[in-house]
Amino acid sequence: MERNMSLIFLVWLVWLNGCFLLEVDGLNAESSKPNRLELPLRSASDLDSFGYFVSMRIGIPPKKYLMKLSTCTVLTWIKCRNECKNCSDTRFNQPNESRTYRSIPCSSSYCTSDLIPSNANEVCPKPDAPCRYDYLLEDGTRLVGTIGNDTVTVRMRGNQKVRLENITIGCTEEITSKFNKSLDGELGLGVEYQSFAGKALRQTNTTSFAYCLVDSWSPINVSGYLVFGRVDQVPNMQETDLLVGHWTWSKSYHLNVSGISVDGIMLDIPSDVWLYDPNGRTGGMILDTGSPLSWLAAPAYDKLIQAFLPSITKFPKPKDNESIALQHCFDSTTGYNETLMPKLAIHFGNGAKFEPPVKSYVMGDDVKCLGFVRLDGVPTSNIGSFLQQNHLWEFDLFNEKLRFAPSTCTSD
Protein backbone atom coordinates (compact mmCIF):
# COMPACT_ATOMS: atom_id res chain seq x y z
CA MET A 1 0.00 0.00 0.00
CA GLU A 2 2.62 2.46 1.06
CA ARG A 3 4.80 1.66 -1.91
CA ASN A 4 1.84 2.35 -4.17
CA MET A 5 1.55 5.77 -2.69
CA SER A 6 5.13 6.63 -3.60
CA LEU A 7 4.56 5.38 -7.09
CA ILE A 8 1.56 7.55 -7.48
CA PHE A 9 3.52 10.58 -6.44
CA LEU A 10 6.16 9.67 -8.93
CA VAL A 11 3.46 9.53 -11.54
CA TRP A 12 2.36 13.00 -10.57
CA LEU A 13 5.80 14.32 -11.35
CA VAL A 14 5.55 12.86 -14.79
CA TRP A 15 2.12 14.25 -15.40
CA LEU A 16 3.20 17.84 -15.33
CA ASN A 17 1.09 19.88 -17.65
CA GLY A 18 1.18 23.39 -18.88
CA CYS A 19 -1.93 24.88 -17.40
CA PHE A 20 -0.16 27.06 -14.93
CA LEU A 21 -0.33 30.76 -15.51
CA LEU A 22 1.55 33.26 -13.52
CA GLU A 23 0.53 36.85 -13.36
CA VAL A 24 3.12 39.00 -11.72
CA ASP A 25 1.88 42.47 -11.07
CA GLY A 26 4.15 44.86 -12.92
CA LEU A 27 6.21 42.17 -14.60
CA ASN A 28 5.55 40.41 -17.83
CA ALA A 29 3.84 37.09 -17.71
CA GLU A 30 6.80 35.10 -18.99
CA SER A 31 8.20 34.77 -15.50
CA SER A 32 9.21 31.26 -14.62
CA LYS A 33 6.80 28.93 -13.00
CA PRO A 34 7.00 29.32 -9.23
CA ASN A 35 8.24 26.33 -7.30
CA ARG A 36 6.11 27.16 -4.35
CA LEU A 37 2.65 28.53 -3.67
CA GLU A 38 2.16 30.31 -0.40
CA LEU A 39 -1.23 31.50 0.78
CA PRO A 40 -2.08 33.45 3.92
CA LEU A 41 -3.99 31.24 6.34
CA ARG A 42 -6.14 32.83 9.03
CA SER A 43 -8.12 31.82 12.06
CA ALA A 44 -11.88 31.96 11.51
CA SER A 45 -12.56 33.14 15.08
CA ASP A 46 -13.35 36.70 13.95
CA LEU A 47 -15.95 35.17 11.62
CA ASP A 48 -17.72 33.51 14.54
CA SER A 49 -16.38 30.20 13.49
CA PHE A 50 -13.62 27.77 14.34
CA GLY A 51 -10.76 26.51 12.31
CA TYR A 52 -8.69 28.18 9.63
CA PHE A 53 -9.40 29.52 6.18
CA VAL A 54 -7.78 30.81 3.02
CA SER A 55 -9.27 33.24 0.58
CA MET A 56 -9.36 32.35 -3.10
CA ARG A 57 -11.06 33.58 -6.22
CA ILE A 58 -12.98 31.17 -8.35
CA GLY A 59 -14.13 31.63 -11.91
CA ILE A 60 -13.82 34.36 -14.53
CA PRO A 61 -14.90 37.00 -13.59
CA PRO A 62 -13.36 35.98 -10.28
CA LYS A 63 -15.46 35.81 -7.15
CA LYS A 64 -13.94 35.64 -3.72
CA TYR A 65 -14.57 32.66 -1.44
CA LEU A 66 -13.45 31.98 2.10
CA MET A 67 -12.49 28.34 2.20
CA LYS A 68 -12.12 26.36 5.37
CA LEU A 69 -9.00 24.24 5.55
CA SER A 70 -9.80 20.56 5.80
CA THR A 71 -7.21 17.82 5.89
CA CYS A 72 -9.84 15.09 5.78
CA THR A 73 -11.55 15.95 2.53
CA VAL A 74 -10.33 15.48 -0.99
CA LEU A 75 -13.16 17.44 -2.51
CA THR A 76 -12.82 21.20 -2.67
CA TRP A 77 -16.32 22.57 -2.69
CA ILE A 78 -18.33 25.75 -2.38
CA LYS A 79 -21.90 26.40 -1.38
CA CYS A 80 -23.99 26.80 -4.47
CA ARG A 81 -27.21 28.47 -5.36
CA ASN A 82 -29.70 25.73 -4.56
CA GLU A 83 -28.49 25.47 -1.02
CA CYS A 84 -28.80 29.19 -0.67
CA LYS A 85 -31.86 30.41 1.13
CA ASN A 86 -31.40 33.96 -0.04
CA CYS A 87 -29.94 33.85 -3.48
CA SER A 88 -29.39 37.56 -3.76
CA ASP A 89 -26.34 36.84 -1.63
CA THR A 90 -23.66 37.15 -4.27
CA ARG A 91 -21.22 34.98 -2.36
CA PHE A 92 -23.11 31.97 -3.58
CA ASN A 93 -21.80 30.74 -6.83
CA GLN A 94 -23.82 30.58 -9.99
CA PRO A 95 -21.58 28.30 -12.01
CA ASN A 96 -23.15 29.49 -15.24
CA GLU A 97 -21.97 33.01 -14.48
CA SER A 98 -18.33 32.00 -14.69
CA ARG A 99 -17.02 31.93 -18.25
CA THR A 100 -14.43 29.32 -17.34
CA TYR A 101 -16.74 26.90 -15.54
CA ARG A 102 -16.95 23.50 -17.22
CA SER A 103 -19.37 20.96 -15.95
CA ILE A 104 -17.97 17.42 -15.83
CA PRO A 105 -20.31 15.07 -17.69
CA CYS A 106 -21.58 12.13 -15.67
CA SER A 107 -20.70 9.71 -18.46
CA SER A 108 -17.03 10.75 -18.61
CA SER A 109 -14.39 8.45 -17.18
CA TYR A 110 -13.21 11.44 -15.21
CA CYS A 111 -16.52 11.25 -13.35
CA THR A 112 -16.96 7.50 -13.25
CA SER A 113 -13.47 6.42 -12.30
CA ASP A 114 -11.06 9.26 -11.58
CA LEU A 115 -12.98 11.31 -9.13
CA ILE A 116 -13.17 10.86 -5.41
CA PRO A 117 -15.87 10.88 -3.89
CA SER A 118 -16.36 7.66 -5.69
CA ASN A 119 -20.11 7.45 -5.44
CA ALA A 120 -20.12 10.36 -7.85
CA ASN A 121 -21.87 8.66 -10.68
CA GLU A 122 -24.91 7.09 -9.14
CA VAL A 123 -27.23 9.27 -11.13
CA CYS A 124 -26.62 9.78 -14.82
CA PRO A 125 -29.89 10.48 -16.58
CA LYS A 126 -28.22 11.56 -19.81
CA PRO A 127 -24.56 11.38 -20.87
CA ASP A 128 -23.90 15.11 -20.66
CA ALA A 129 -25.72 15.68 -17.36
CA PRO A 130 -23.38 16.94 -14.66
CA CYS A 131 -21.38 14.53 -12.55
CA ARG A 132 -23.04 14.36 -9.13
CA TYR A 133 -21.64 13.59 -5.72
CA ASP A 134 -23.25 12.48 -2.55
CA TYR A 135 -20.46 12.68 -0.07
CA LEU A 136 -20.35 11.80 3.59
CA LEU A 137 -17.69 13.70 5.53
CA GLU A 138 -16.08 12.00 8.48
CA ASP A 139 -18.09 14.07 10.92
CA GLY A 140 -21.33 12.80 9.39
CA THR A 141 -22.06 15.88 7.31
CA ARG A 142 -23.58 14.96 3.98
CA LEU A 143 -22.83 17.02 0.89
CA VAL A 144 -24.78 16.72 -2.34
CA GLY A 145 -23.93 18.58 -5.50
CA THR A 146 -22.37 18.60 -8.93
CA ILE A 147 -18.77 18.71 -10.05
CA GLY A 148 -17.15 21.04 -12.51
CA ASN A 149 -13.81 22.57 -13.35
CA ASP A 150 -13.04 26.23 -12.98
CA THR A 151 -10.12 28.61 -12.79
CA VAL A 152 -8.86 29.49 -9.34
CA THR A 153 -6.81 32.58 -8.62
CA VAL A 154 -4.86 32.77 -5.40
CA ARG A 155 -3.03 35.77 -4.05
CA MET A 156 0.20 34.80 -2.42
CA ARG A 157 1.88 36.57 0.41
CA GLY A 158 3.61 39.49 -1.21
CA ASN A 159 0.55 40.01 -3.42
CA GLN A 160 1.65 37.93 -6.38
CA LYS A 161 -1.36 36.44 -8.10
CA VAL A 162 -1.25 32.90 -9.40
CA ARG A 163 -3.87 31.34 -11.56
CA LEU A 164 -4.58 27.63 -11.62
CA GLU A 165 -6.78 26.22 -14.34
CA ASN A 166 -9.01 23.17 -14.45
CA ILE A 167 -9.38 22.95 -10.71
CA THR A 168 -12.07 20.44 -9.90
CA ILE A 169 -14.64 21.98 -7.60
CA GLY A 170 -17.82 20.66 -6.09
CA CYS A 171 -20.84 22.89 -6.18
CA THR A 172 -22.68 21.83 -3.05
CA GLU A 173 -26.42 22.31 -3.24
CA GLU A 174 -27.38 20.45 -0.11
CA ILE A 175 -25.62 20.28 3.24
CA THR A 176 -27.20 18.19 5.96
CA SER A 177 -25.43 19.75 8.92
CA LYS A 178 -25.02 23.44 9.39
CA PHE A 179 -21.89 24.70 7.72
CA ASN A 180 -20.82 27.97 9.20
CA LYS A 181 -22.47 30.86 7.42
CA SER A 182 -19.44 33.07 7.14
CA LEU A 183 -17.39 30.46 5.31
CA ASP A 184 -18.13 29.61 1.70
CA GLY A 185 -16.76 26.12 1.34
CA GLU A 186 -13.89 23.82 2.06
CA LEU A 187 -10.42 23.51 0.64
CA GLY A 188 -9.77 19.78 0.67
CA LEU A 189 -6.17 18.93 1.45
CA GLY A 190 -6.76 15.21 1.40
CA VAL A 191 -4.35 13.95 -1.16
CA GLU A 192 -5.56 12.53 -4.38
CA TYR A 193 -4.52 13.19 -7.92
CA GLN A 194 -7.49 15.36 -8.87
CA SER A 195 -7.72 17.37 -5.65
CA PHE A 196 -6.63 20.96 -5.20
CA ALA A 197 -3.65 19.73 -3.19
CA GLY A 198 -2.74 17.30 -5.96
CA LYS A 199 -2.98 20.04 -8.55
CA ALA A 200 -0.99 22.56 -6.52
CA LEU A 201 1.76 20.01 -5.92
CA ARG A 202 1.94 19.09 -9.59
CA GLN A 203 2.10 22.72 -10.56
CA THR A 204 4.96 23.38 -8.21
CA ASN A 205 6.59 20.07 -9.12
CA THR A 206 6.88 19.15 -5.47
CA THR A 207 5.56 16.56 -3.08
CA SER A 208 5.36 18.52 0.18
CA PHE A 209 2.91 20.93 1.60
CA ALA A 210 2.68 22.55 5.00
CA TYR A 211 0.49 24.78 7.05
CA CYS A 212 1.36 26.91 10.01
CA LEU A 213 -1.57 27.69 12.28
CA VAL A 214 -1.59 30.95 14.22
CA ASP A 215 -3.22 31.06 17.65
CA SER A 216 -6.84 29.91 17.29
CA TRP A 217 -8.12 33.21 18.67
CA SER A 218 -6.01 35.46 16.48
CA PRO A 219 -7.80 38.39 14.87
CA ILE A 220 -8.38 38.20 11.16
CA ASN A 221 -5.52 40.55 10.32
CA VAL A 222 -2.99 38.04 11.61
CA SER A 223 -2.02 35.28 9.24
CA GLY A 224 -0.07 32.06 9.17
CA TYR A 225 0.50 30.28 5.88
CA LEU A 226 -0.36 27.34 3.68
CA VAL A 227 2.53 26.33 1.41
CA PHE A 228 2.77 23.94 -1.48
CA GLY A 229 6.42 23.33 -2.30
CA ARG A 230 9.54 24.09 -0.35
CA VAL A 231 8.86 24.63 3.32
CA ASP A 232 11.13 26.92 5.27
CA GLN A 233 12.32 24.89 8.21
CA VAL A 234 11.96 26.26 11.70
CA PRO A 235 14.02 25.20 14.72
CA ASN A 236 13.19 22.01 16.66
CA MET A 237 11.40 20.20 13.85
CA GLN A 238 10.46 16.66 14.79
CA GLU A 239 9.65 13.93 12.34
CA THR A 240 7.35 10.93 12.36
CA ASP A 241 5.76 8.55 9.87
CA LEU A 242 2.77 9.60 7.86
CA LEU A 243 0.67 6.53 7.19
CA VAL A 244 -0.80 7.64 3.90
CA GLY A 245 -0.86 4.24 2.29
CA HIS A 246 -4.39 3.33 3.28
CA TRP A 247 -5.96 5.74 0.93
CA THR A 248 -8.40 3.44 -0.80
CA TRP A 249 -10.86 4.56 1.81
CA SER A 250 -9.40 7.44 3.64
CA LYS A 251 -7.61 10.42 2.25
CA SER A 252 -6.78 11.31 5.81
CA TYR A 253 -3.36 11.59 7.31
CA HIS A 254 -2.96 8.72 9.72
CA LEU A 255 -0.23 8.86 12.34
CA ASN A 256 1.75 6.14 14.04
CA VAL A 257 0.90 6.96 17.65
CA SER A 258 2.49 4.97 20.46
CA GLY A 259 0.76 6.65 23.37
CA ILE A 260 -0.23 9.71 25.35
CA SER A 261 1.54 10.90 28.47
CA VAL A 262 0.41 13.30 31.16
CA ASP A 263 3.17 14.97 33.19
CA GLY A 264 5.62 12.49 31.75
CA ILE A 265 3.68 9.38 32.76
CA MET A 266 2.43 7.18 29.93
CA LEU A 267 -1.28 6.50 30.20
CA ASP A 268 -2.26 2.87 30.23
CA ILE A 269 -4.14 2.80 26.94
CA PRO A 270 -4.54 -0.46 24.97
CA SER A 271 -2.26 -0.16 21.94
CA ASP A 272 -4.94 -1.33 19.50
CA VAL A 273 -6.63 2.06 19.97
CA TRP A 274 -3.82 3.49 17.82
CA LEU A 275 -4.06 0.88 15.08
CA TYR A 276 -5.86 1.67 11.90
CA ASP A 277 -7.93 -1.20 10.56
CA PRO A 278 -8.22 -0.85 6.78
CA ASN A 279 -10.98 -3.47 6.62
CA GLY A 280 -13.18 -1.91 9.25
CA ARG A 281 -11.95 1.48 8.05
CA THR A 282 -11.62 2.67 11.60
CA GLY A 283 -9.19 3.17 14.40
CA GLY A 284 -5.90 4.94 14.65
CA MET A 285 -5.35 8.65 14.80
CA ILE A 286 -5.46 11.34 12.14
CA LEU A 287 -4.68 15.04 11.87
CA ASP A 288 -7.91 16.92 11.26
CA THR A 289 -7.86 20.69 10.82
CA GLY A 290 -11.57 20.70 10.01
CA SER A 291 -12.47 19.68 13.56
CA PRO A 292 -11.79 22.26 16.29
CA LEU A 293 -11.75 19.77 19.16
CA SER A 294 -9.83 16.54 19.41
CA TRP A 295 -11.85 13.34 19.53
CA LEU A 296 -10.44 10.38 21.40
CA ALA A 297 -11.48 6.76 21.45
CA ALA A 298 -13.12 5.99 24.80
CA PRO A 299 -10.25 3.97 26.33
CA ALA A 300 -7.84 6.84 25.66
CA TYR A 301 -10.29 9.56 26.66
CA ASP A 302 -11.16 7.89 29.96
CA LYS A 303 -7.51 7.51 30.97
CA LEU A 304 -6.78 11.08 29.97
CA ILE A 305 -9.64 12.43 32.07
CA GLN A 306 -8.54 10.34 35.05
CA ALA A 307 -5.13 11.94 34.80
CA PHE A 308 -6.54 15.47 34.57
CA LEU A 309 -9.27 15.23 37.21
CA PRO A 310 -7.05 15.83 40.27
CA SER A 311 -5.94 19.18 38.79
CA ILE A 312 -9.34 20.18 37.46
CA THR A 313 -11.29 19.35 40.58
CA LYS A 314 -9.15 21.80 42.57
CA PHE A 315 -11.29 24.45 40.89
CA PRO A 316 -15.01 24.99 41.44
CA LYS A 317 -17.51 23.67 38.89
CA PRO A 318 -18.92 26.39 36.66
CA LYS A 319 -21.99 28.02 38.22
CA ASP A 320 -24.10 28.18 35.13
CA ASN A 321 -23.13 25.27 32.96
CA GLU A 322 -26.20 24.62 30.85
CA SER A 323 -24.74 25.95 27.62
CA ILE A 324 -21.48 24.04 27.98
CA ALA A 325 -21.24 21.15 25.58
CA LEU A 326 -17.96 19.82 26.92
CA GLN A 327 -17.87 17.46 29.86
CA HIS A 328 -14.96 18.59 31.99
CA CYS A 329 -15.07 22.26 32.80
CA PHE A 330 -14.20 24.45 35.74
CA ASP A 331 -14.43 28.03 36.95
CA SER A 332 -10.95 29.47 36.54
CA THR A 333 -11.64 32.96 37.92
CA THR A 334 -9.67 32.41 41.12
CA GLY A 335 -6.11 31.21 41.24
CA TYR A 336 -5.84 29.64 37.81
CA ASN A 337 -2.44 29.43 36.26
CA GLU A 338 -1.51 27.25 33.30
CA THR A 339 1.41 25.90 35.28
CA LEU A 340 -1.16 24.18 37.54
CA MET A 341 -2.38 22.05 34.65
CA PRO A 342 -0.70 18.77 33.69
CA LYS A 343 1.48 18.66 30.58
CA LEU A 344 0.11 16.57 27.77
CA ALA A 345 2.24 14.85 25.15
CA ILE A 346 1.38 12.62 22.23
CA HIS A 347 4.13 10.12 21.47
CA PHE A 348 4.85 8.62 18.09
CA GLY A 349 6.27 5.24 17.11
CA ASN A 350 9.73 6.51 16.32
CA GLY A 351 10.14 8.49 19.53
CA ALA A 352 8.95 11.87 18.27
CA LYS A 353 6.80 13.75 20.77
CA PHE A 354 4.15 16.42 20.28
CA GLU A 355 3.79 18.69 23.30
CA PRO A 356 1.07 21.25 22.74
CA PRO A 357 0.89 24.29 25.01
CA VAL A 358 -1.68 24.10 27.83
CA LYS A 359 -3.93 26.69 26.14
CA SER A 360 -4.47 24.20 23.30
CA TYR A 361 -6.25 21.69 25.50
CA VAL A 362 -7.48 23.68 28.51
CA MET A 363 -9.48 26.35 26.79
CA GLY A 364 -11.97 29.09 27.49
CA ASP A 365 -12.01 32.36 29.39
CA ASP A 366 -13.53 32.32 32.88
CA VAL A 367 -14.95 28.87 32.38
CA LYS A 368 -12.28 26.57 31.05
CA CYS A 369 -12.84 23.12 29.61
CA LEU A 370 -10.72 20.22 28.53
CA GLY A 371 -10.89 20.26 24.74
CA PHE A 372 -11.44 16.56 24.17
CA VAL A 373 -14.51 14.61 23.17
CA ARG A 374 -15.13 10.94 23.92
CA LEU A 375 -15.79 8.55 21.04
CA ASP A 376 -17.41 5.16 21.54
CA GLY A 377 -16.95 2.08 19.42
CA VAL A 378 -13.70 1.59 17.51
CA PRO A 379 -13.43 5.04 16.06
CA THR A 380 -10.65 7.01 14.49
CA SER A 381 -9.29 9.50 16.98
CA ASN A 382 -8.08 12.86 15.78
CA ILE A 383 -5.91 15.81 16.58
CA GLY A 384 -8.14 18.80 15.96
CA SER A 385 -7.25 22.35 15.08
CA PHE A 386 -7.05 23.73 18.63
CA LEU A 387 -4.46 21.15 19.51
CA GLN A 388 -2.54 21.88 16.31
CA GLN A 389 -2.42 25.66 16.78
CA ASN A 390 0.88 27.54 17.00
CA HIS A 391 2.68 24.79 15.14
CA LEU A 392 4.06 24.28 11.69
CA TRP A 393 2.94 20.97 10.14
CA GLU A 394 4.77 19.73 7.10
CA PHE A 395 3.44 16.83 5.05
CA ASP A 396 6.26 15.25 3.08
CA LEU A 397 4.21 12.94 0.94
CA PHE A 398 7.03 11.49 -1.10
CA ASN A 399 8.95 10.32 1.95
CA GLU A 400 5.76 9.69 3.92
CA LYS A 401 6.88 11.83 6.81
CA LEU A 402 5.17 14.39 8.96
CA ARG A 403 7.38 17.11 10.41
CA PHE A 404 6.23 19.55 13.04
CA ALA A 405 7.55 22.25 15.31
CA PRO A 406 6.18 24.97 17.54
CA SER A 407 5.89 28.34 15.81
CA THR A 408 3.90 31.53 16.16
CA CYS A 409 3.55 31.29 12.36
CA THR A 410 3.45 35.05 12.01
CA SER A 411 7.07 36.03 11.48
CA ASP A 412 8.24 37.12 8.09
* Chain residues that interact with ligand NAG, rule: CB under 6 A: 13, 16-17, 19, 48-50, 86, 88-89, 94, 96-97, 102, 104, 110, 149, 165-166, 168, 178, 180-181, 194, 205, 219, 221-222, 241, 243, 256, 317-318, 321, 324, 327, 329, 337, 339, 349-350
DSSP SS3 for 338 = helix
* 156 vs 222 by CB, closer to ligand NAG: 222
Supply the minimum distance, in Å, between the C-beta of residue 80 and ligand NAG: 10
Question: Which residues, including other chains, have CB under 8 Å from residue 62's CB and lie 6 or more apart?
Answer: 151, 153
Residue 255 has what DSSP assignment? E
By beta carbon distance, the residue nearest ligand NAG is 349
The alpha carbon of 57 is separated from its chain's Cα centroid by a whole number of angstroms, namely: 19
* 1 vs 136 by CB, closer to ligand NAG: 1
Largest CA-CA distance found in the chain, in angstroms, rounded: 68
Pure H helices in 332-412? 385-388
Question: Which residues, including other chains, have CB under 8 Å from residue 30's CB and lie 6 or more apart?
Answer: none
Supply the minimum distance, in Å, between the C-beta of residue 192 and ligand NAG: 11
| Burial classification of residue 7, based on how many CB atoms lie within 10 Å of its CB (0-12 exposed, 13-18 middle, 19 or more buried) | exposed
Supply the minimum distance, in Å, between the C-beta of residue 338 and ligand NAG: 7
* 216 vs 388 by CB, closer to ligand NAG: 216
Supply the minimum distance, in Å, between the C-beta of residue 205 and ligand NAG: 4
* 26 vs 271 by CB, closer to ligand NAG: 271
* 50 vs 404 by CB, closer to ligand NAG: 50
The 8 Å CB, 24+ separation contacts for 334-338 are 336/368, 338/362
Supply the minimum distance, in Å, between the C-beta of residue 123 and ligand NAG: 17
**Cβ-contact 326, 359 below 8 angstroms:** no
Supply the minimum distance, in Å, between the C-beta of residue 179 and ligand NAG: 7
